Amino acid sequence: MTAPTVTTTPAPQGAGSPQRSWGDRAAKLWHRMTTPSTLPLMGTLVTLILMLVIGQMRYSTERRDFVSIKLFSNLFVDNSYLLVLAVGMTFVILTGGIDLSVGAVVALVGLVIATLLPTGLPLVIVLPLAVGIGSLFGFMIGVMVHYFSIQPFIASLAAMFLARGLANVVSVQSVGIDHDGFSALAGWSLKFGEGRDIWKINSSMLVAVAVLAVAYLLLHHTRFGRTVYGVGVGDRGNAIQLMGLNAGRTTLWVYVISGTCAGISGVLFAFYTKSGFNLTGIGMELDAIAAVVIGGTVLTGGAGYVLGTFLGVTVYGLIQVMIAREGLDSWWTKVFIGVVLLAFVLLQRAIARKKVR
Amino acid sequence: MTTSPVQRIVGAVWHHRLFWPVVALIVLLLACQINSPGFLSIDVRNGALFGQPIDILRTAATPLLLALGMALVIATAGIDLSVGAVMAISLAVSLTYLQGSASAGEVPTVMAAVALGIGVALLCGMFNGFLVSVLGIQPFIATMILMVAGRGIAMLITQAQITTVTSAPFKFIGSGSVFGLPTPVVIAAVVFVIVAVIVRRTALGMMLESIGINREASRLAGVNSRGITWFAYALAGVLAGLAGIVYGAPTMAADANNIGLMKEMDAIMCVVLGGTLLSGGKFYLSGTVIGALILTTIERAVIIFHLPSQITPLFKAIVIIAVCIAQSPELRTWLHKAGGRMRTKTPPSAPSTTASTSSADDPRKEVAVS
Amino acid sequence: MSHPSGHAPVVEMTGITIEFPGVKALDSVSFRLFPGEVHALMGENGAGKSTLIKALTGVYQIAAGTVNIDGKAVRITGTDAAQKAGISTVYQEVNLCGNLSVAENIMLGHEPRFGPFISWRALKAQAATFLARLHLDIDPSSKLSEHSIAVQQLCAIARSTVVQAKVLILDEPTSSLQQAEVDELFAVIRELRDQGVAILFVSHFLDQIYEISDRITVLRNGSFIGEYMVSDLPRLQLIEKMIGRSGAELEKIDKTSERRDPQQDATPIYQAAGLGKFGKVENVDITVHPGEIVGLAGLLGSGRTETARLMAGVDRPEHGETSLRGKPTPINDPKTALKNNIVYSSEDRKKEGIIGDLTVRENIALALQSLRGVWRPIPKAELDTIVERYLTALRIYPANPNMLIRNLSGGNQQKVLLARWLATQPELLILDEPTRGIDIGAKADIQRLVVEQAREGMGFVFISSEFEEVLRVSDRVLIFKDRVITDDLDNAEHTLTSTDILHAIAALTDAKPRDAAQPATHATVTKEHNA
């Protein structure tokens, strides 16, 4: 903001250059923020702020603000599984694919945990195994997509049926998880604040944040990540292939990542519900896709940010919170999410039109 | 040339796009017949046909109705995820109207109810079509909006109750019989013929395909791609509405949460099993019928084999994977390389070579081979 | 000039055969490439040039024959294998990733890393040095898609210098470049050649071939015709070898300049005043009479294509009045244009022309069917007659109406598209680059057809970046510059020359002769530049 004065700067000539570079950086940042590819993300951010402002105005009481750390803490206690799911989905969507199987995988993983733990298998084996099931499903979709050129929609649809069917084989009833180690892990949390303002960070949130961080590093700072972006444009990976990079293996890995995220998400969901149920997660894949789209990633691939997905999940969670605060019936949530999705899609469309002009 | 006529016929059959789907269907039927002798037999009782095959046909009517509309939408390189939700909406509207009517048992009332349900379904289809063709929103996301919101809307219509009514004419739509055949089968057959005539006896089919293959080139050639795409979504909506009524008529209960749940996936599966590519372009209505039959036969087979019905998805998965892999050009290339006796000089049939992901320029294929 | 005779070839392909279902795309073709030479691969469309290149770059698998690289027999199993063997390719349509930065496009696959992570600073610095070597002054962290095709192509070449390719294949790199950009590209090519890189160059522009290459290999119909030093092969002979016909066919092209009588006094078919769209063209006045061929000439982006698109309603005009046969008729979309007997044949055949997976027959029927409406199919017999007539009249090969159009060569696809437009019996046919990228025979056929149809009263707007071609067919040439029409030249007696057009284009320009980008085909001027 304030330029360094001569008295505080030993070398007046030197003061000019960092100043100019700051101006440059600001201009560059502004340029980057307003390019067509980041505009949807800005839209998400603006929406988020708008919702928070409305929430603050409508739901704040004299004693408590609506916007508080507690709000976000609760939001991510409820939605950390969705964040992990959406992060995995972001990888797939960036390549122009789709993964419909994740909801069913969450159900299967939950049931596997619920049935394996009572057999006395230790937690350190069960949890990795459960995550591994997710990876395996992802691998299967990847093989179908890459080696057999089956469209991602159909390949993941088949995986969805498979996972759902297997979940039904395991059990058709809700199986409660009563395991000390598991409960300890699920219930662990760091508490902050006092009285009514108490908020916490639980294990699920840590896992979700870790997944987000890893995904960010992977997408933006490794060759693999850049290849993911490349596969999403340029002739469905043809360009990447002609550049001598391995489009096929990238495609395969993207689904493994999504599957693994679904596995982790299944564990987190089991943490959250402390049970496994075969009808869990019907339509959960759509929630994840909606969050990714709201987060500014384009469904045709090639453009988007994993941090946008984070914002998308936040918006999604906030919608649920606000519907609950309004005291509306639960099916209103669906209608409202549909409306918000419509609004976002129209917004993105308007931006795209502007870009063309 | 050097190929004998027999070889040529074998080649043509082997490479026909419906070869694997038909094989899958026959295998399924035979497996049922072996497991439960008499499975394939049909009796005449009270002037109506009875038997497992007739039952399969009856059950196949709903997915077929959905899939016929879906096939046209997919031909334009689109997709309609909302059909399941639209089923729920249309049934909710029809039954709510009947419930509120004093003369629910009379034919004109039922006709009005059906017309109303289908009319609302048409509106849903128009909404999808508007988003896709006028606003240019991606079909997946555009129809996902109604898929998510539609069930909520159906709940609003039924006031979150499971609406039930009694009306003989309405029930007839789902469980009556015409000329010895179950009404749903007749309805599906009539709709199939109408759609086939509309599509193949006019230029609609060619235009749908041309839009799906190259939308911009079609626009420049004067093709009314907006109108035609819109029509496809509207028709898909109407057929979904009809399917909802046919599906819900026997029980006459509108359970907004569960009617048509995941049916969009079933419909897409039928279309794809029939050899139509999700990427759009060429589409096959007869293949779609085979797809619907496979789907219902799987569901029936699970019962015949005394398996818990919850594991049906497992078998759907196996069949999708098997048929898709069998249809994939990669497998055919591999089989050719393996030098089976089936090798012929005829080029592979159209759908497998026209696959957008499998053109000769696709370098991924070579990578897979190397 | 380096003379390769002393070296051993870096690439030697012998007896290469490639088969597609039902077709032999290459039949026992041989090809040699020496280090430090520019080798042109010549042939008409469908001769097998791209097939041979794709065999060398590992996109297609060869059925028979051997490939030696540096004297060792190799099997190129895929694109990555080709790159490992030192073969880099720059395609006509840039095959890089538009959504990634310039630096990433150049360095990806060879990026400097810190552990598993890309070192962005080093990556940008290295990319900058590679760009500097090609004298390309752009921001490495800018997005690739923000740059022109020419710059993107140079980026692709920069990428090939990163991998230190021994062999650089340039597949029609100049087709969408302006002359100044071509000069820049050629400077880079010469530099690389002098460093010992073997360069395989494919282009439709003869002048460019004679300007840059040392040696020529000619293919025809998938067969090897011969390998020649450029100095030993005059142009006429080269053309004869490419098309397998004597000069007679070529003379026919010139016969098209026979006089016709455009009905200048009749009511104009098409008249526009003040036609324009922001950022495309401004205030275009244009009139087409029955039987008149109006040529539009100008540089790429000068407004010629943009005008054509507004005329046919492909893009919606933002202002201006159009009247057809004296009656004011706004044209806002291609459908309306079609109904008013105006059709537009796009310059982008693949994206805006053919419907790849439909048959030749369906492709011909499409526009006529749109005209009649979806619900009134063209009777089979009628369509048969129409299809048959155009297959013969336009000499479409193969004359099989049930073949998928994407399996035809470029020239034949273009003819099918012409048949599509002609079948609607238009009054005004707007042809945008109808002969781009197609062989000389087909070119002659199309030019002849245009003149014939004009004689029968059809009006034409003809756009081509080859000025000779525009002059050959047009009665009047409108000169476009910077999005406006700057001149209207009469060519009724066919007295105009390319130089006149160049002068007309240059008329309003500041005196910057080196910069005035001529079309790539203009022989004399191009030569002078590089003398």
Residues B167-189 pLDDT 10s: 888 889 888 888 888 999 999 99
Task: Say yes or no: C91 and C212 in one domain.
Answer: yes
Which residue would you say has higher pLDDT here, C345 or B337? C345
Listed residue (A37, A298, A258) closest to C100, CA to CA:
A37
Q: Given C58, C334, C365, which is nearest B220 (Cβ)?
A: C334
Inspect the interface and report whether the beta carbons of A154 and B324 lie closer than 8 Å.
Answer: yes
Res B344 pLDDT > 50? no
Q: Which of C205, C222, C246 is the endpoint of a domain?
A: C246
Chain A interface, Cβ < 8 Å to C: 35, 37, 217, 221-223, 226-227, 229-230, 232-235, 238-246, 302-303, 357
Q: Which residues contact C454 (CB under 8 A, 6 or more apart)?
A: C260, C262, C291, C292, C293, C460
Looking at the complex, report in whole angstroms how far the Cα of residue C96 sits from the nearest Cα belonging to chain A.
5
- Between the CA of residue A284 and those of A89, B357, C203, what are the distances in Å? 12, 28, 53
Strands C198-202 and C215-220: unpaired
Mean pLDDT over all residues of chain B? Answer: 84
Name subunits touching B (3+ CB pairs < 8 A): A, C
Do the chains contact at B144 and A151, CB–CB below 8 Å? Answer: no
Distance from CA of B254 to the nearest CA of C (A): 37
Give the pLDDT band (50/70/90) at residue C394. Answer: confident
Give chain A's length.
357
Among B222, B366, B367, the residue with its CB nearest the CB of C338 is B222
* Contact between C209 and C40 (Cβ < 8 Å): yes
Measured between CB atoms, which of C21, C334, C358 is closest to B210? C358
Residue C517 — pLDDT band, cuts 50, 70, 90? Answer: very low
**Amino acid identity of B256?**
A
- pLDDT of the residue at C263: 65
Is the domain of C111 the same as that of C31?
yes
Answer whether B142 sits within 8 Å of A345, measured CB to CB: yes
Candidates C100, C107, C161, C162: best to mutate against A (most CBs of A within 10 A) is C100
Question: Would the pLDDT of B256 be above 70?
Answer: yes
Beta bridge partners of B48: B45
Residues pairing with C64 in the sheet = C17
C506 and C377 assigned to the same domain? no
Q: Is B145 near chain A, with CB under 8 Å? A: yes
Parallel/antiparallel/unpaired status of strands C459-463 and C293-298: parallel
Structure tokens at A74: 């609760």
Tell me, yes or no, whether C269 and C418 share the same domain.
Answer: no
Q: Which chain A residue's Cα is nearest to B333? A: A148
Per mean pLDDT, which range of A150-159, C196-205, C255-264 is the poorest? Answer: C255-264
Residue pairs between chains A and B whose CB atoms are closer than 8 Å: 158
Residue A234 has its nearest CB partner, among C83, C84, C95, at: C95
**Beta-bridge mates of residue A80:** none
Out of C58, C339, C355, the one facing B218 most closely (by C-beta) is: C355
Q: Supply the pLDDT for residue B339.
A: 57
Q: Among residues C400, C425, C450, which one ends one of the domains?
A: C425
Read off the pLDDT of residues C235-259 as tens digits, 9 standing for 90 and up. Answer: 777 877 876 655 444 444 454 455 5
Q: For residue C79, list chain B residues with Cβ-Cβ distance below 8 A.
A: 363, 366-367
B341 CB-contact burial (10 Å; exposed 0-12 / middle 13-18 / buried 19+): exposed
Q: What is the pLDDT of residues C108-145, one digit of tens each?
A: 888 888 888 888 889 999 999 888 888 888 888 888 88
**Main-chain phi, psi angles of B337, to 5 degrees:** -65, -40
**C-alpha pair distances (Å), C279 with each of A1, C302, C506:** 38, 11, 22
DSSP B111: H
C519 phi/psi in degrees, rounded to 5: -65, 150
A342 touches chain B (CB under 8 A): yes
Q: Is the pLDDT of residue C6 over 70?
A: no
- A37 to chain C nearest CA, in Å? 9
**Residue C346 touches chain B, beta carbons under 8 Å:** yes
Q: In this structure, what DSSP letter does residue C69 have?
A: E
> Lowest mean pLDDT: which of B95-104, B220-229, C30-39?
B95-104
DSSP 8-state assignment for residue B161: S
Q: How much is the pLDDT for B345?
A: 38
Query: C483 vs A111, which has greater pLDDT?
Result: A111
- With vertex at residue C322, the alpha carbon angle to CA C450 and CA B224, rounded to the nearest 5 degrees, is 75
- Structure tokens, A162: 């498979």
Cβ contact B321–A158 (<8 Å): yes
Query: Which of C425, C453, C468 lies at the terminal end of a domain, its last residue?
Result: C425
Residue C489, number of CB atoms within 10 A of its CB: 17
How close A264 gets to chain C, by Cα (Å)?
23
pLDDT > 90: percent of chain C: 26
Distance from CA of A248 to the nearest CA of B (A): 6
Strands, E assignment, A152-296: 175-176, 189-192, 199-202, 275-276
**Band of residue B102 on the pLDDT scale cut at 50, 70, 90:** confident
| Mean per-residue pLDDT, C154-171 | 86
Q: Do A229 and C100 touch (CB under 8 A)?
A: yes
Which residues of chain B does C354 touch, with a Cβ-Cβ cutoff of 8 Å?
A: 214, 217
As for how many domains chain C has, the answer is 3
User: Which residues of B, range 270-309, sit inside 8 Å of A by Cβ?
Assistant: 272, 277-279, 308
- The mean pLDDT of C14-24, rounded to a whole number, is 78
Q: Which domain holds residue C419?
A: 349-425
Answer whether the bond into residue C398 is a cis peptide, omega within 30°.
Answer: yes
Q: Do B366 and C79 make contact, defined as CB atoms within 8 angstroms?
A: yes
pLDDT tens, position by position, C214-238:
999 998 888 899 999 988 888 777 8
Mark yes or no for CB contact B366/C77 under 8 Å.
yes
Alpha-helical runs (H) found in A34-122? 39-59, 69-94, 102-116
pLDDT at site B366: 31
Across the interface, whether the CB atoms of C78 and B361 are under 8 A apart is answered no
- Asked if the C-beta of B281 comes within 8 angstroms of chain C's C-beta atoms, the answer is yes
Percent of chain B with pLDDT over 90: 42
User: What is the pTM for the complete model shown?
Assistant: 0.79
Query: Between β-strands C281-288 and C270-277, what pairing exists: parallel, antiparallel or unpaired?
Result: antiparallel
pLDDT at A148: 86
- Determine the pLDDT at residue C63: 83
Task: Report how far residue B56's alpha carbon sits from residue B60's, in angstroms, rounded to the nearest whole number.
Answer: 6
| Min Cα separation B82/chain C (Å) | 26
Q: Are residues C406 and C453 in the same domain?
A: no
CATH of the domain at C11: 3.40.50.300
How far A25 CA lies from chain B's nearest CA (Å)? Answer: 35
C→A contacts (Cβ < 8 Å), by residue, are 57, 59, 79-80, 83-84, 89, 91, 95-100, 104-105, 108-109, 111, 113, 116-118, 120, 143, 159, 163, 279
* Pair C286, C366 in one domain: no
Interchain pair B363, C78: CB under 8 A: yes
Ordered structural domains, chain B, with CATH: 5-327 (1.10.3470), 328-370 (no CATH)
Residues C209 and C271 in one domain: no
Q: Chain B partners of C344 at a C-beta cutoff of 8 Å?
A: 220
Contact state of C81 with B228 under an 8 Å Cβ cutoff = no
Q: Which of residues 205-244 of A touch B (CB under 8 A)?
A: 236-238, 241-242
Segment B282-300, tens digit of pLDDT: 999 999 999 999 999 988 8
Structure confidence by residue, pLDDT tens digits, C310-368? 999 999 999 899 999 889 999 999 999 999 999 999 988 888 999 988 999 999 999 99
Give the residue, B352 or B82, on which the prediction is more confident. B82
> Read out DSSP for C445-459?
HHHHHHHHHHHTT-E
Q: Which of A161, A278, A333 sits opposite B320 (nearest CB)?
A: A161
Cβ distance C375 to B209 less than 8 Å, yes or no, reads no
The strand pair at A199-202 and C11-20 is best described as unpaired
Which of B207, B213, B360 minimises the CB distance to C374? B207
Residues of chain A with pLDDT under 70: 1-21, 32-37, 234-237, 352-357
Q: Would you tell me how many other CB atoms lie within 10 Å of the CB of residue A20? A: 10
pLDDT > 90? residue C203? no
Flag if C109 and A244 touch (Cβ within 8 Å).
Answer: yes
C-alpha torsion angle, residues C156, C162, C167, C173 (rounded to 10): 10
Q: Which pLDDT does position B188 carry in this prediction?
A: 95
The terminus-to-terminus CA distance of chain B in angstroms comes to 32
Rg (CA), chain B: 22
In chain B, which residues have their Cβ closer than 8 Å to the Cβ of C352? 216-217, 220
Asked whether residue B155 carries a pLDDT value surpassing 60, the answer given is yes
- Using a CB–CB cutoff of 8 Å, tell me whether A171 touches chain B: no
CB contacts, 8 Å: A239 with chain C? 95-97
